Structure 1
Amino acid sequence: MRLHRNLLVSTVFFVVAVIAGVWLYPQLPADVPTHWDLHNHVNGVTSRFWAAAFPALGVLAVAVLAVVLPAVSPRQFAIRRFDGAWGVLMLVMQGFLLVAGLGILLPGAGYAVSMPTIVMLATGVLYLLLGNYMGKLRRNFFIGIRTPWTLASDAVWERTHRFGGRLFMLGGLATVLIALADPAPWLLVVVLVAVWLIAAAYSYFIHLRLEGSR
């Protein structure tokens, strides 16, 4: 039942992405801005076809990975131990790619939409949802805070992800507030890098505490 539900949601995301791409395609320029520097200046473009196809291809790629990765995961890192959280987070990633892709296409097609605001809001919501489910993740190679210390120990993984869940939610909330107040890409980079660095450092700290206690 859960697999059927996830497949249905993925199909809806894919159909929406295809419809949006087909609808916006005639309105897009030959070269669509798809990459910006930290000061929000365009420094990269993509051809109209691939830009319009990106949301649908992104959704499709994550949907395929959601099925393939659990099948190839080593037994001691089996994803089935947390398949409920895995399925939800794969859908969250698909939703993020859909919204972020449309946030890039709509301004390119001439609509008065703020790309930085949409992408940063989508990123903030993504981190909030990741943080909410992070405590349910178990050791694996594909999702979560994967450092040498978390992958080597269930105890370090669990403690790091309990802390990391709160940290990711805080980073997500900060990103949403920044997007609403001043959607500057460099602030987004600062917040996201800080979240990952603090989480990685915390995993090493927990590793040292547990190893010292032995």
Structure 2
Amino acid sequence: MNPVRSLLLSALFLLMLLAAYLWLLPQMPTVIPTHWNAQGQINGYMTPFKAVAAPMLVIAGLALLTILLPAISPRGYRIKPFASVFTIVMLAVQAFVLVTAFGVLLNGAGHPMHQPLVTTVGLGLLWMVMGNYMGKLRKNFFAGIRTPWTLANDEVWERTHRMAGWVFMLAGLVTVIAAFAGAPLMVAIYVLVGAALIPAIYSYVIYQWLQ
């Protein structure tokens, strides 16, 4: 995916979020729920403006990084050879932010949305998308499992990311199933954190074995 198309999609995300805010604003009170704890209880509020401005800034920042990071990546760690994969992953993160923000706005406007469920399912799907593309990432400083051992050895990087792809896909699927089954949010957090730690540990083990 070329940079222009990426920016257009990011701009579309921003316009969709702004349109939702303007449409729902007359239905929203002065402050709306914006944060839920691990037990699914509301523990944070914002004004509607701040509730939409924060995710819009995040999406805009990610859109900028999608263009900037490939341009500044150092020699030997270039993102450009796999820029399309990097762009898809970054757009997936932006889409996750967009969906969770939609949930917050709909809740605030009195349209019941089980926000912890929305967030958890969104995270699970995001992990699955990342897992699908993990094996296509090449050595770089900005995306992937960046441990001292993956950055030091090309074979360790490749083996770690092939394994990480399966782990992320499985963790994402388990997270989605657990969310619909009514499991506590902490279950999803443990699964997703574990999915990130396992490849990091594996990279050390495979590095030592290769040495």
Q: Same fold (TM over 0.5)?
A: yes
Task: Name the SS of the counterpart of 2:106 in structure 1.
Answer: helix
Correspondence list, 1:190-209, <5 A:
190-209=190-209
Task: Name the SS of the counterpart of 1:45 in structure 2.
Answer: strand
- Higher mean C-alpha displacement, 19-28 vs 117-126: 19-28
Within 1, Cα distance between the matches of 2:29 and 2:144? 38
Residue in 1 that maps onto 2:189? 189
Within 1, Cα distance between the matches of 2:72 and 2:62? 15
Residue in 1 that maps onto 2:171? 171
Residue in 2 that maps onto 1:15? 15
2:145 maps to a residue whose letter is I
Within 2, Cα distance between the matches of 1:150 and 1:27? 51
Task: Name the SS of the counterpart of 1:141 in structure 2.
Answer: coil
User: Deviation at 1:26?
Assistant: 3.2
Per-residue CA distance 1:40-67 (angstroms, 9 max, x = gap) = 1222222321102233222211111101
- Count of aligned pairs: 211
Task: Name the SS of the counterpart of 2:32 in structure 1.
Answer: strand
Q: Is the contact made by 1:116 and 1:184 (CA closer than 8 Å) also made in structure 2? A: no
Task: Name the SS of the counterpart of 1:55 in structure 2.
Answer: helix
User: Is the aligned partner of 1:38 residue 2:38?
Assistant: yes
Per-residue CA distance 1:23-51 (angstroms, 9 max, x = gap) = 22333333322222211122222232110
User: Deviation at 1:183?
Assistant: 5.0
Identity of aligned residues (%): 46
Cα root mean square deviation, aligned: 1.5
Residue in 2 that maps onto 1:94? 94
Q: Is the contact made by 1:29 and 1:108 (CA closer than 8 Å) also made in structure 2? A: yes
Correspondence list, 1:7-86, <5 A:
7-86=7-86
- So what's the TM-score if we normalise by structure 2? 0.93
Within 2, Cα distance between the matches of 1:6 and 1:37? 33
Within 2, Cα distance between the matches of 1:118 and 1:188? 12
Within 2, Cα distance between the matches of 1:32 and 1:68? 34
Unaligned runs of 5+ in 1: none
Within 2, Cα distance between the matches of 1:45 and 1:209? 50
Within 2, Cα distance between the matches of 1:113 and 1:37? 15
Unaligned runs of 5+ in 2: none
